[in-house]
Structure 1
């Protein structure tokens, strides 16, 4: 880094998630991931993550397209999440094309799976970040 360049420190803080029913979607996510219950914040329902990021669920009153959200979790948390998914009878897949139902993948040296939330958003749970199995030089 050039000594004249200022180091910029920027962190991601929050994201608004559109939902058909914010209580249903926010509660679904906290139950599946094992997070504290959502809390009201103005007209949002907020879900807080351990890295100081917040999902703020809102009901926009308009049609919206599906979004994709991926969560990096510990191996032990993955097992608990998979148990909650199967206990609720939810469909899940090892791949985003949904060609491997009821399975998880072993990508990037870890495990991962895909499922949908009540508003139709694609959710992904992974235990290793993408590219983490590549040799870094």
Structure 2
């Protein structure tokens, strides 16, 4: 049997706010309740399962990268800019307000409401260009 990624749990202070942020920004279906989680469906059946952390519990930011089409990049990046969301061309945040052109594609980093690092890119790393 081939091995495929199925889901990951994403910690949030407000699971609804974080799940809706990603689903709306990316043009995905609305989050669906699944037990104590709110699930955001991605391609190939994978989901981001948002879960509230206990009051006062610290969230350790994670990095989530999404491979998107050129058209999706334009749409998502347009929303990032129109909403005035901070964003960077690099993971270290040294190039604010810019995108990168790594491997002949485009990419950008930004944060979600829980502080996780999100990245959209149009070409996989190491694909050349």
TMscore range, shorter length = over 0.9
Determine whether 1:46 maps to 2:35.
no
Q: Give 1:94's match in structure 2, choosing from 89, 96, 99.
A: 89
Partner residue, 2:23: 30
Tell me, which stretches of 5 or more residues in structure 2 are unaligned?
none
CA-CA distance at 1:10 after TM superposition: 1.0
Partner residue, 2:73: 78
Secondary structure of the corresponding residue to residue 51 of structure 1: helix
Tell me, which stretches of 5 or more residues in structure 1 are unaligned?
1-7
| 8 Å Cα contact 2:88-2:109 kept in structure 1 | yes
* Deviation string, structure 1 residues 55-113 (Cα, Å, up to 9, x no partner): 10001213221100000000010000001111111011101111111110000110000
Q: CA RMSD in A?
A: 1.1
Aligned residue pairs, count: 127
| 8 Å Cα contact 2:88-2:108 kept in structure 1 | yes
Structure that is richer in strand per residue: 2
| 8 Å Cα contact 2:59-2:114 kept in structure 1 | no
Partner residue, 1:5: none
C-alpha separation between the residues in 2 aligned to 1:57 and 1:131?
30
Partner residue, 2:121: 126
CA-CA distance at 1:15 after TM superposition: 0.6
Largest Rg, 1 or 2: 1
Secondary structure of the corresponding residue to residue 131 of structure 1: coil
Secondary structure of the corresponding residue to residue 61 of structure 2: coil
Secondary structure of the corresponding residue to residue 88 of structure 2: coil
